[in-house]
Chains A and B, each alone.
Chain A
Amino acid sequence: MSRRITIDPITRLEGHGKIEIFLDDSGEVTAAYFQVPELRGFESFCIGRPAEEMPNITNRICGVCPEAHHIAAIKAVDAAWGVPCLPAARRIRELIYHAFFVADHTTHFYCLGGPDFIVGPDAPPSERNILGVIRTVGQEVGGQVIACRRRNHELIKELGGRGVHLCGALPGGWAVPITREQQITFRRYAAENVAFARFSLQLFADIVLKEPSYRDLVLSDLYRHETHSMGTVDSGMAVNFYDGRIRVVDTLGNQVTLYEPKDYQEHIAERVEPWSYLKFPYLKKFGWHGFVDGLDSGIYQATPLSRLNVADRMATPLAQAEFERFYDTFGLLGKGPKGRNLPVHHRLATHWARLIELLFAAERMEELLEHPDICDTNVRQAVAPRAGTGVGSVEAPRGTLTHHYETDERGILTRVNLIVGTTNNNAPISLSIMKAAKGLIKNGLCNDGILNRVEMAFRLYDPCCSCATHALGKAPLELLVRRVSDGALLDRISRD
């Protein structure tokens, strides 16, 4: 019989992220949890600083999503100080943001998610990586991945002032406009992005969807469980990464709520567990019922998959066609409430959803660069700090990102709260790992292949585990299998 599970808090020494799986005496999985390390004192570090510094501070707390924090932060400052962003500046922010999405989603698919399918889930870890992908599908593809990252980072660098930690955001505006020469170059970049996104979707179709064993893996019950879905939508209920209202649909596709980001506290509460530094957000309407999924649970996901699940459509034509193909493949197109799609709950489909978002981001860049006023030079305005409260929200690649600031009359921060993409997914990640682990680990038997298939349930979320602290000597992920009765370590995988 299982004993009460106790998990010690993670220490810095043990790495960035940690999955712990607990087995009972007969070797069956009783629980599985995902943990990230504690970072101390962010709020007190920020309080007392001018709010306009936040875009340049928060873009360095995460090594992977600096652009998401930069944009969410400046939107929060805009809101706190009551400064609507100038239209030309907003287009530049959006353009940069979509270039970031293209680079980020590309990297995830080819470096992290794709290798499980392109190289194979049971391949040795030394081959199951981007180099293995290149060996399998050809050097040419590797060159395209590098080129895609390079051109989008170049755009971000030119408009953001710096390639690594962009610094272009100003309250109500942006530091520099787009020149005609840049417009021409960026149009080419955007067209190349669209072509690359289409190529990637075709690759996914050829390698995953046409291969029965992979298709079965995606459709298997092992990686399927039902949670509610969250995402940002525009006024036409299409996916939007930069701005809009937050829509939540339940496991059956019914709209639970549609709210302005500033009202997030009316809809979202955060559960604190004594064994985890990361909170567990849940929907207030349903309440917290523990680590359970289903219609009555308050647990929701905020991922590429959930963004498609909440939307009625995609805002660009090629992405819309892929969106329809996606739901049609699962037999869910138009089968939901009011003729909408039923939500997809197969977690591995998140990889496919990510590629559809990649195509949307590329198309959106093209649209923005065709705007007649894209080179409008009116991108800066005089701004007076004031006392206020502001919430800035964007869809980060890993989920809805919310920055919430309060300032005094001098514009100095008096309160800061952040809900980052991965925090939204804290509970569903644990649920996905548990589902996969229960299905795969029998009689205590686990090996590298089995544990990798468990890790696939984690990897599809591409969680961001406080990437800023990447000091040498720590592995970004550890997977530990323990006996629940005494906590003895039965197996361990550490991925660099």
Chain B
Amino acid sequence: MQVVIGLGCPYLTDDGVGPRVVRQLLTGDELPGVRLVESHAGGLLLVEELAGADRAVIVDALWDTRRVPGEVLIAGVETVTRNAACGHDCSLAEALAIGRGMGIPLPPDEAIHLVAVVAGDVATFSEQLTPAVQEALTDVCSTVLKLVQERTGYPDGGNHA
């Protein structure tokens, strides 16, 4: 089973890109063996969402002023261990280590992909994405679908955008 997790707050402009991708995918063709979920926090909660999956795609907003809003990047767990951390418990890498140590069935690191969408605004309450991120939405969905449909993923876990 695969899981696609859209991470973010749907009410904070581009922070909502993850949930928006999940909602868009839900309106498309059925994806057998793929669970689509919206979530809001990293760390242990994210590990609980990953439980039982053998492969995962996490979609989240990326705040990086060196990049252009709407840019899409793909990364692996090992390259961005700070991603998906929860300030109230631990990082994703720590949470995965705990989960595995406790015998929770979790995807291996190389089967967890992070799709990051460079955000233009993550501090204003709004259900609208900024135009650049809105424009990228279709591409992001395609990227996620491609990842879901290929079983091998990117072996080096690096950036591919």
Question: A-side interface residues toward B, CB under 8 Å?
Answer: 12-13, 16-17, 37-42, 44-45, 57, 60-61, 63-64, 66, 107-108, 111-112, 129-131, 134, 139, 142-143, 146, 149-150, 153, 163-165, 462, 464-465, 467-477, 496
Q: Are A134 and B40 in contact, CB atoms less than 8 angstroms apart?
A: no
> For chain B residues 75-120, which have a beta carbon within 8 Å of chain A?
80-91, 94, 97-99, 101-104, 114, 116, 119
Question: B-side interface residues toward A, CB under 8 Å?
Answer: 7-12, 14-15, 37-45, 48-49, 60-65, 80-91, 94, 97-99, 101-104, 114, 116, 119, 122-126
Q: A108-B88, A468-B15 are in contact. Are A41 and B101 (CB under 8 A)?
A: no
Chief secondary structure at chain B's binding surface: loop
Residues from chain B with a CB closer than 8 A to the CB of A153 are 48
Q: Are B102 and A146 in contact, CB atoms less than 8 angstroms apart?
A: yes
Q: Are A42 and B125 in contact, CB atoms less than 8 angstroms apart?
A: yes
* Complex partner residue of B88 from A12, A165, A462, CB under 8 angstroms: A462
Q: Are A473 and B102 in contact, CB atoms less than 8 angstroms apart?
A: no
Chain A: minimal CB distance from B31 (Å): 20
A345 to B121, CA, bound (A): 41
Q: Are A469 and B122 in contact, CB atoms less than 8 angstroms apart?
A: yes
Q: Are B61 and A471 in contact, CB atoms less than 8 angstroms apart?
A: yes
Q: Are A143 and B102 in contact, CB atoms less than 8 angstroms apart?
A: yes
A111 to B65, CA, bound (A): 31
Residues from chain B with a CB closer than 8 A to the CB of A40 are 123-125
A474 to B11, CA, bound (A): 19
* Complex partner residue of B86 from A45, A63, A142, A474, CB under 8 angstroms: A63
Residues from chain B with a CB closer than 8 A to the CB of A474 are 63
Q: Are A107 and B88 in contact, CB atoms less than 8 angstroms apart?
A: yes
Q: Are B119 and A111 in contact, CB atoms less than 8 angstroms apart?
A: no
Residues from chain B with a CB closer than 8 A to the CB of A129 are 90, 94
Residues from chain A with a CB closer than 8 A to the CB of B61 are 471-472
Q: Are A467 and B87 in contact, CB atoms less than 8 angstroms apart?
A: yes
Q: A111-B90, A131-B97 are in contact. Are A39 and B12 (CB under 8 A)?
A: yes
* Complex partner residue of A150 from B37, B48, B85, B86, CB under 8 angstroms: B48
Chain A residue at minimum C-beta to C-beta distance from B104 = A146
- Given A64-B41, A111-B88, 7 extra CB contacts under 8 A: A38-B123, A63-B86, A112-B89, A129-B94, A131-B98, A149-B48, A470-B87
Residues from chain B with a CB closer than 8 A to the CB of A134 are 98, 101
Q: Are B114 and A146 in contact, CB atoms less than 8 angstroms apart?
A: no
Chain B: minimal CB distance from A282 (Å): 26
Q: Are A39 and B44 in contact, CB atoms less than 8 angstroms apart?
A: no
CB-based closest 7 A-B pairs: A476-B87, A45-B125, A63-B41, A468-B9, A111-B89, A471-B61, A471-B63
Q: A64-B86, A164-B38 are in contact. Are A472 and B10 (CB under 8 A)?
A: no
Chain B residue at minimum C-beta to C-beta distance from A60 = B9
Residues from chain A with a CB closer than 8 A to the CB of B42 are 470
A467 to B64, CA, bound (A): 18
Q: Are A12 and B124 in contact, CB atoms less than 8 angstroms apart?
A: no
Residues from chain A with a CB closer than 8 A to the CB of B10 are 60
Q: Are A45 and B102 in contact, CB atoms less than 8 angstroms apart?
A: no
Q: Are A139 and B90 in contact, CB atoms less than 8 angstroms apart?
A: no
Residues from chain B with a CB closer than 8 A to the CB of A465 are 87
Q: Are B102 and A472 in contact, CB atoms less than 8 angstroms apart?
A: no
Q: Are B65 and A13 in contact, CB atoms less than 8 angstroms apart?
A: yes
Pull 30 A–B residue pairs with CB atoms less than 8 Å apart, ordered by A. A12-B63, A17-B87, A37-B123, A38-B123, A39-B123, A41-B126, A42-B125, A45-B126, A60-B9, A60-B10, A63-B9, A63-B41, A111-B90, A139-B102, A143-B103, A146-B44, A146-B99, A146-B102, A163-B48, A164-B45, A165-B40, A467-B87, A468-B15, A470-B15, A471-B8, A471-B14, A473-B62, A476-B85, A476-B87, A496-B85
Q: Are B123 and A63 in contact, CB atoms less than 8 angstroms apart?
A: no
Residues from chain A with a CB closer than 8 A to the CB of B123 are 12, 37-40, 469
Residues from chain A with a CB closer than 8 A to the CB of B40 are 60, 63, 66, 164-165, 468, 470
Q: Are B63 and A164 in contact, CB atoms less than 8 angstroms apart?
A: no
Q: Are A475 and B102 in contact, CB atoms less than 8 angstroms apart?
A: no
Q: Are A472 and B45 in contact, CB atoms less than 8 angstroms apart?
A: no
Q: Are B101 and A139 in contact, CB atoms less than 8 angstroms apart?
A: yes
A165 to B122, CA, bound (A): 20
Q: A130-B94, A139-B101 are in contact. Are A496 and B9 (CB under 8 A)?
A: no
Chain B: minimal CB distance from A490 (Å): 24
A472 to B7, CA, bound (A): 10
Chain A: minimal CB distance from B14 (Å): 8
Residues from chain B with a CB closer than 8 A to the CB of A150 are 48
A37 to B125, CA, bound (A): 13
Chain A residue at minimum C-beta to C-beta distance from B18 = A471
Q: Are B94 and A41 in contact, CB atoms less than 8 angstroms apart?
A: no
Residues from chain A with a CB closer than 8 A to the CB of B38 are 164-165
Q: Are B88 and A164 in contact, CB atoms less than 8 angstroms apart?
A: no
Residues from chain B with a CB closer than 8 A to the CB of A60 are 9-11, 40
Chain A: minimal CB distance from B152 (Å): 24
Chain B residue at minimum C-beta to C-beta distance from A17 = B87
Q: Are A469 and B12 in contact, CB atoms less than 8 angstroms apart?
A: yes
Chain B: minimal CB distance from A394 (Å): 18
Chain A: minimal CB distance from B57 (Å): 14
Residues from chain A with a CB closer than 8 A to the CB of B84 are 470, 472
* Complex partner residue of B122 from A12, A42, A45, A496, CB under 8 angstroms: A12
Chain A: minimal CB distance from B62 (Å): 4
A165 to B10, CA, bound (A): 12
Interface centre among A41, A60, A143, A153 (most CB of B within 10 A): A60
Chain B: minimal CB distance from A57 (Å): 6
Interface centre among A112, A164, A165 (most CB of B within 10 A): A164
Chain B: minimal CB distance from A13 (Å): 6
Q: Are B9 and A469 in contact, CB atoms less than 8 angstroms apart?
A: yes
Q: A142-B98, A469-B15 are in contact. Are A112 and B88 (CB under 8 A)?
A: yes
Q: Are B82 and A39 in contact, CB atoms less than 8 angstroms apart?
A: no
A164 to B9, CA, bound (A): 12
A474 to B126, CA, bound (A): 21
A231 to B20, CA, bound (A): 39
